[in-house]
Amino acid sequence: MKTFEVKTKINFGQNALDRLLDFKTERVLIIADPFVVSSGLIRQVTGRLDRTQVTYEIYQDVVPDPPIEKIIGGVRQLMAFHPDYIVAVGGGSALDLAKGVRKFAAEMSQSERIPMFAIPTTSGTGSEVTSFAVITDSEANRKYPLSSDDMIPDEAILDEELVKSVPASITADTGMDVMTHAIEAYVSINNNEFSGALAEKSVEICGQFLLRSYASCEDSHARRKMHIASCLAGLAFNSASLGLTHGMAHQLGAKFHIPHGRANAILLPTIIQYNSRIDRASRSRKEYDPCVRKYCNVARVLGVSNLNEITTVHALVAYLRFMNSEMDIPSNIRDLGSVSAADYFEAINDMAAAALADGCTATNPRTPTLEEVIELYKKIW
């Protein structure tokens, strides 16, 4: 038996943040990205709470790829403040940190988990509707995708006003994260008709609006669409899970702090070739792996399908590489310029072992061996 459930109430459209005006006299712990606070963007949230009788405090010790220590800091503040609600405002890092705070606080005090609102300020992770929180163990240089139903936020607020300030390079990275979520969920061995419908719509929106959103932060229509696409992809992978691209990207994030979406963007074309077993030398076959039909559907949604399976998978891979280059995302790790060859090659064996153990890899359509993952890491250098 399979089930499909959306646990999060999603508030979206113009002035979606007005949902906050429904608060009355509660105590609210806001967990926010420090940029959101320093830039004044937070006033979109606090300004509305100021119009209610709510008492709030802000925890803003959030860093990208949130480590356990920062979660503990949040738990401390929560235990001292005793909030009725948590309102998380920020990118995936702030939302994941807040999910961790809520979960660990409930476990430590053996009390009910506190209701949580998630307000994303990037259009990328879909964390506002997922049971995942990706936490970093900085000592071991590992990232762990924790997953449990009690981490799913109760409500999400999607308001495009909060993503207008996202600069081009972060729009590119987070947008390709959305594309990767949608495609990996679509071909995951756990995919189903519900996750498939959500993933297809998300891919379609990315195809139509990601480059537009990248080109101008003033393009509210494109930014609103990408904010919805991010959430749709989150719903898709919350049901179907992800794949090897994410399994490998998590290690690149943990070891080298390559932004999550950028790591996915670099990996995705290579992983599609690997999963489909279609590369330059491929010749027509009678039968293809089941994921090939799925990749061909993705290509059709993006308007790049053509004569047969082989040329269509090639066209999809080429399209994704084109998207990367249009948005100035390097095509390999070397061209990022932030990682030395010596450090990278020294880390490959450990990263490959960790990628194999990563929860996302388990639902990849092709089961990789350690040697194959090592080769894939070498290939993207």
Ligand X SMILES: NC(=O)c1ccc[n+]([C@@H]2O[C@H](COP(=O)([O-])OP(=O)(O)OC[C@H]3O[C@@H](n4cnc5c(N)ncnc54)[C@H](O)[C@@H]3O)[C@@H](O)[C@H]2O)c1
Binding site for ligand X (CB under 6 A): 33, 35-36, 41, 64-65, 90-94, 96, 121-122, 124-127, 130, 132-134, 162-163, 165-166, 170, 174, 177, 253, 260-261
Instruction: Kindly state the tokens that stand for 132.
Output: 């995942």
Residue closer to Zn ion, measured from CB, 155 or 177: 177
> Looking at beta carbons, which residue is closest to Zn ion?
177
- Partner whose binding site includes residue 132, from Zn ion, ligand X, none (CB under 5 to 8 Å by kind): ligand X
Contact 261, 124 (CB under 8 A): yes
Residue type, 21: L
Q: How far is CA 169 from CA 174, 245, 259, 267, 311, in A?
A: 9, 20, 10, 17, 30
Binding site for Zn ion (CB under 5 A): 177
Residue closer to ligand X, measured from CB, 26 or 336: 336
| Nearest approach, Cβ of residue 134 and ligand X (Å) | 4
| Nearest approach, Cβ of residue 125 and ligand X (Å) | 4
| Nearest approach, Cβ of residue 117 and Zn ion (Å) | 21
Residue closer to ligand X, measured from CB, 165 or 331: 165
Please report which residue ranges of 90-243 form alpha helices under DSSP H: 92-109, 168-187, 193-215, 220-240
- Partner whose binding site includes residue 309, from Zn ion, ligand X, none (CB under 5 to 8 Å by kind): none
> Looking at beta carbons, which residue is closest to ligand X?
91
Residue closer to ligand X, measured from CB, 222 or 299: 222
Instruction: Kindly state the tokens that stand for 373.
Output: 């993952």
67 CB-near residues (< 8 Å, 6+ apart): 135, 136, 137, 138
| Nearest approach, Cβ of residue 42 and ligand X (Å) | 10
Burial of 342: CB neighbours in 10 Å, binned 0-12, 13-18, 19+ = exposed
